[in-house]
Every structure is written in structure tokens, then in C-alpha cells.
């Protein structure tokens, strides 16, 4: 019995309810084995601009470090093959249960449904828990059960519903399984494959350099590409 | 965070939380942040911004087609520009070469850093839809390719808010004036000078209206792509056509 956790837009170990459920399940069944996997859809990823590619890779790298290098990154050619490839790899690891945070945007709702079906065909269960939000979409409702279309009453009701306290995780309570047989589609994209920035800086005007007070105080904004390291 | 309510709209200061990337990748859950907040006015404003993110996720959940389509269907039938000139204008907007310094600074901040100040996102979005008469989806796609903090619900519904076709949106007739917005939210012009190199030698707020200076002051900076007040009238006329 092996449990897997499928990371997507929830790159963290703490206050991750779905991950906590995966770890608890691996402890309960006695195996204490968890496969942590994240998937890169290459057809989408290689269309992104360089900075965005780098920031995703750095976020996954940070997640991998927090798992002591035990994150498995699976590269799939496109969305159509995503579910098939992911379920193939996981069932080859004798995974019987997969956990993930439930998505609510239409593209990922469809994908999670397809992954659930592909896993079910191999006898593997997919459990979708929690959300990326304090109050999951669909919960805040008018008294008549319909959704709010105006923000302010939504906010008041959202605040009243409240949210769970953060859950904490002891990552060393389980063994994080690294897929050792590298089938060529595993691992983070190498830096050489990432796009270079499209931005061509414009030369600063000479008159700027001639001024005595060339330096002006500037409160720097955080460089997004490195902010999450 | 104690001045978040006062400084978050200033493009030239680092007054926003810079937590959007961490939220987009899920490196932090909003629960974890909410737990840390006090009920001070500044932190309440921040909490309301978190709730906007949740509101848009809720709206998208109930209206899945609004990811790429108009939530308010009558805006679909509005007259938008297409063809070669429209494509060229879209490209100038993407590259930060519209001739409007505040718009160009925002678009270049996006290209250089993968992030754009929230207030400036509204300014460039209003410009695309109401000055260039292009559809919001074209801008939203560019944001998706470039924004490191990209979030499907916040992106589509942030755009639809500005384009006037979203839920609880800014009314379409509210057209942002890129010069006045610049003077208000970048009062000394530091934000423009940081990102628009051709204007870096122009001191003070004059950088928001370089065309008022003698021509040689900014020879490398593009001329204005369109005239704001003309296009404002044009977009209001197009709005009338769909308001039966």
C-alpha cells in the first residue's frame, strides 16, 4: 500500500489539509510511504514567458528542498495525456490512494475529473480535499441559497462563516518515496531549456548620466523570480 | 503592513504585500495569513483583498464560462477593433510603447519582473479596453503568459471588473485617465523613470506628460498611439450602442 500526493498550486507542507490527510492515511495503513508528485504540462509550460517559467521552477525547487529532495516532477507532453501518464506512473509505484487539493477553476476541475477516472480504471482512488481558499467556492450563499453577485454582502457572509485553524505536519513521520528509475520524463526542466527574458532594456538617456545626482533613492520592489526562494 | 490601507495604491512605493506569488503557487494558504491579521484598519483592508480573491473564485465556480467569456453577455456585442491596426496597437501595448508613460511603465514592469503593481494593472487594462477598443481576453492572455502570480479567477475577473462586464464591476463609463492616474499614484514620477529608460532624465511629475516638453527632451520615446480624450468619447459612444 502506497499513498501519493499530487501537488498543484499548493506547494507547501504546512497548513495543507489534503497533504496532511495523505500522510495520516500512510501512517494508518502502516506503510508510511508517500510519493510526492508534481506534473509539468510541457505544451503549456514552454509557451510561458521566461520569468514565469523560472518562478514556477523555483517554487517547485523550494518545495523539493522542503522534502529533502524527494519531490518527483513528472513532465507530460500535453493536457490530453496528463491523466494517462500520471496514473501510469503512480500505479507502477503500487500506489493505491492519491490525495490532492480540490480545484475550483473550470480547467482544473475538468483535469481532476479526468485524473480521477484514469486512476479509477487502474483501481486507484483519488481524494480531493480542501481548496486554495479560506472558504471554499460555493459555500458563501444568500439566505435563499443562491450565490452573491455583489462583493460587500459576500464579504460579510464570508467573514461570518470563518475558516479552519492551520494544520501542522511532521514530514519525517513518513518516508517520501523517490522514483528512482528515471524514465526520461522525470525531473525539473533544466535552466538551459527555459526561455530567456524577451525584454530588451532601453538605453538610458545620456543627460541622465551627466547629472550630479544620478542616484535617486528607490524603494525596490521584490523581484518576483527570486521572492519565493 | 501597518500602512497597507494608505500605501497599497502607490505605484512608486513598495506598499503592497507582495504575497501574490506565494498565494498563486500555494506556498502559503490564505488561512495561515488570516490568522495573523489584527483588526487594525490597515490589516482589515488587507483581509478584504484576500476576500476579493475568494469572491472571484466563487464567481468563477458558479460561472465557469466567465473564465474566457463575458460575464455580462451584452458586452459581447459591443464593437471592438480588429485588423492590422488593432494588432499593431495590441503589440505596442504589450511592449510598453503606447506613448503614455504610466501605461508603458506598467507593461515594462511586467516584462522585466513578471509582476505589475495592482493599481497599474487597472490602468493598463482600462487603456487596452477603452482607449484601444480591444477585447479584455487579449489582455488577460498576455497577463497569463507573463504574470508570475497568475491566478485564473483573479485574472479573468480583475479584467472583467475594469472592462465593466464583470460582476459588481467598475461601470464601463468610468474610463481611467492614464495621465491623471499617473500623477495621483506616482506623484513624483519615480515609477515611470524606473521602467521607461527614454524618460529617465525628465525630473518630477512632468515625466507623465513628456509631450508638453520641447520635442528634443525625449526623442526616443514613442508618440502617443491614440488621443485619450478622443478614444474616451469613442468608447462611450460604443457603450450607448449596446444600451438599448
Q: Which residue has the higher pLDDT, A24 or A181?
A: A24
pLDDT of residue B219: 85
Nearest to B152 among A49, A56, A105 (CB): A105
Query: Cell numbers at residue B132, please?
Result: 484601444
The rounded distance, in Å, linking the Cα atoms of B20 and B15 is 13
Say which residue the cell 480591444 belongs to: B134
Smallest CA-to-CA distance from B232 within B140, B143, B76, B100 is with B100
Instruction: Give the B window 24-53 contacts with A, CB below 8 Å.
Output: 24-32, 34-35, 48, 50-53
pLDDT of residue B201: 94
Q: Enumerate residue ranges in chain B where pLDDT < 50.
A: none
Segment among A52-56, A215-219, B181-185, B202-206 with least mean pLDDT:
A215-219
Does A206 score more than 80 pLDDT? no
pLDDT of residue A204: 53
Q: CATH number of the domain at B120, please.
A: 1.10.579.10
pLDDT of residue A181: 60
Number of CB pairs < 8 Å for A and B? 191
User: Is A67 buried (19+), middle (13-18) or exposed (0-12) by CB count in 10 A?
Assistant: middle
Q: How far is A71 from chain B (nearest CA, A)?
A: 15
Q: The domain containing residue B232 runs over which residues?
A: 1-244
CB proximity B3 to A under 8 Å: no
pLDDT in tens, A34-46: 999 999 999 999 9
Question: Structural domain boundaries of chain A?
Answer: 2-146+167-181+215-227
Residue of chain A whose Cα is closest to the Cα of B192:
A218
Yes or no, beta carbons of A15 and B53 under 8 Å apart: no
Count of domains in chain B?
A: 1
Alpha-carbon torsion, ordered A51, A104, A42, A177, to 10 deg: 100
C-alpha neighbours within 13 Å on the C-beta side of residue A4: 28
A125-129 and A95-101 as β-strands: parallel, antiparallel, unpaired?
parallel
Average pLDDT for A198-210: 49
ipTM for this prediction = 0.92
The rounded distance, in Å, linking the Cα atoms of A224 and B154 is 18
pLDDT of residue A218: 32
Nearest to B62 among A147, A155, A204 (CB): A147
Residue from B12, B19, B26, B50 to probe the interface with A (highest A Cβ count within 10 Å): B26
Residue from A157, A162, A222, A225 to probe the interface with B (highest B Cβ count within 10 Å): A222
The rounded distance, in Å, linking the Cα atoms of A36 and A70 is 7
Does A1 score more than 90 pLDDT? no
- As a whole number, the mean pLDDT across chain A is 86
Average pLDDT for A160-171: 95
User: In Å, how far are A12, A93, B29, B33, B193 from A134, measured between CA atoms?
Assistant: 15, 33, 8, 10, 39
pLDDT of residue A182: 53
Yes or no, beta carbons of A138 and B53 under 8 Å apart: no
**Percent of chain B at pLDDT exceeding 90:** 85
Distance of alpha carbon A131 from the chain centroid: 12
User: In Å, how far are A13, A62, A167, A215 from A170, measured between CA atoms?
Assistant: 9, 17, 10, 49
Smallest CA-to-CA distance from B106 within B86, B127, B91, B90 is with B127
Which residues in chain B are contacts of A52 at CB distance < 8 A? 114, 145-148, 150
Q: With bands split at pLDDT 50, 70 and 90, how would you rate the model's confidence at A215?
A: very low
Q: Could you say which DSSP state residue A139 is in? A: -
Q: How far is B186 from chain A (nearest CA, A)?
A: 12
Maximum average pLDDT range among A120-129, A196-205, B218-227: A120-129
pLDDT of residue A221: 29
pLDDT of residue A213: 34
Does A199 score more than 50 pLDDT? yes
**Percent of chain A at pLDDT exceeding 90:** 74
pLDDT of residue A198: 60
Full-model pTM = 0.90
Alpha-carbon torsion, ordered B196, A200, B222, B131, to 10 deg: -80
Domain over A2-146+167-181+215-227 is classified CATH 3.40.50.720 = no
Residue from B7, B35, B55 to probe the interface with A (highest A Cβ count within 10 Å): B55
Amino acid at each position: 500500500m502506497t499513498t501519493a500526493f499530487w501537488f498543484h498550486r499548493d506547494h507547501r507542507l504546512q497548513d495543507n489539509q489534503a497533504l496532511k490527510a495523505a500522510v495520516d492515511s500512510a501512517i494508518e495503513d502502516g506503510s508510511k510511504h508517500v510519493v510526492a508528485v508534481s506534473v509539468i504540462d510541457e505544451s503549456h509550460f514552454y509557451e510561458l514567458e521566461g520569468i514565469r517559467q523560472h518562478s514556477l521552477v523555483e517554487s517547485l525547487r523550494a518545495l523539493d528542498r522542503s522534502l529533502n529532495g524527494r519531490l518527483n516532477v513528472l513532465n507530460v507532453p500535453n493536457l490530453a495525456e496528463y491523466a494517462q501518464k500520471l496514473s501510469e506512473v503512480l500505479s507502477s509505484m503500487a500506489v493505491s490512494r492519491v490525495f490532492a487539493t480540490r480545484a475550483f477553476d473550470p480547467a482544473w476541475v475538468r483535469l481532476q475529473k479526468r485524473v480521477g477516472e484514469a486512476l479509477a480504471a487502474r483501481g486507484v482512488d483519488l481524494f480531493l480535499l480542501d481548496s486554495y481558499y479560506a472558504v471554499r467556492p460555493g459555500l458563501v450563499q444568500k439566505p435563499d441559497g443562491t450565490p452573491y453577485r455583489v462583493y460587500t454582502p459576500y464579504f460579510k457572509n464570508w467573514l461570518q462563516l470563518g475558516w479552519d485553524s492551520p494544520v501542522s505536519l511532521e514530514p519525517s513521520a513518513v518516508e517520501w518515496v523517490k522514483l528512482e528509475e528515471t524514465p526520461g520524463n522525470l525531473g525539473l526542466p533544466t535552466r538551459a531549456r527555459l526561455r530567456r527574458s524577451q525584454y530588451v532594456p532601453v538605453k538610458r538617456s545620456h543627460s541622465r548620466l551627466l547629472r550630479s545626482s544620478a542616484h535617486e533613492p528607490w524603494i525596490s520592489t521584490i523581484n518576483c523570480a527570486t521572492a519565493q526562494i | 503592513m501597518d500602512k497597507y490601507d494608505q500605501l497599497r495604491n502607490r505605484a512608486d512605493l513598495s506598499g503592497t504585500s507582495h504575497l501574490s506569488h506565494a498565494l498563486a503557487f500555494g506556498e502559503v494558504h490564505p488561512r495561515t495569513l488570516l490568522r495573523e491579521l489584527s483588526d487594525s484598519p490597515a490589516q482589515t483592508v488587507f483581509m478584504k483583498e484576500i476576500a476579493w480573491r475568494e469572491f472571484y473564485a466563487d464567481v468563477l465556480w458558479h460561472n465557469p464560462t466567465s473564465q474566457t467569456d463575458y460575464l455580462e453577455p451584452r458586452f459581447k456585442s459591443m464593437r471592438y477593433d480588429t485588423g492590422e491596426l488593432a494588432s499593431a496597437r495590441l503589440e505596442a501595448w504589450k511592449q510598453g510603447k503606447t506613448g503614455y508613460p504610466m501605461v508603458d511603465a506598467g507593461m515594462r514592469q511586467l516584462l522585466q519582473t513578471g509582476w505589475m503593481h495592482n493599481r497599474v494593472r487597472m490602468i493598463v487594462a482600462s487603456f487596452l479596453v477603452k482607449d484601444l477598443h480591444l477585447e479584455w481576453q487579449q489582455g488577460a492572455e498576455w497577463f497569463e503568459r507573463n504574470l508570475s502570480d497568475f491566478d485564473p479567477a483573479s485574472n479573468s475577473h480583475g479584467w472583467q471588473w475594469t472592462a465593466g462586464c464583470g460582476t459588481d464591476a467598475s461601470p464601463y463609463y468610468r474610463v481611467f485617465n492614464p495621465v491623471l492616474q499617473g500623477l495621483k499614484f506616482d506623484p513624483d514620477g519615480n515609477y515611470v523613470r524606473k521602467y521607461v529608460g527614454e524618460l529617465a532624465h525628465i525630473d518630477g511629475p512632468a515625466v507623465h506628460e513628456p509631450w508638453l516638453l520641447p520635442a528634443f527632451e525625449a526623442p526616443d520615446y514613442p508618440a502617443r498611439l491614440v488621443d485619450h480624450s478622443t478614444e474616451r468619447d469613442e468608447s462611450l459612444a460604443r457603450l450607448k450602442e449596446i444600451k438599448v
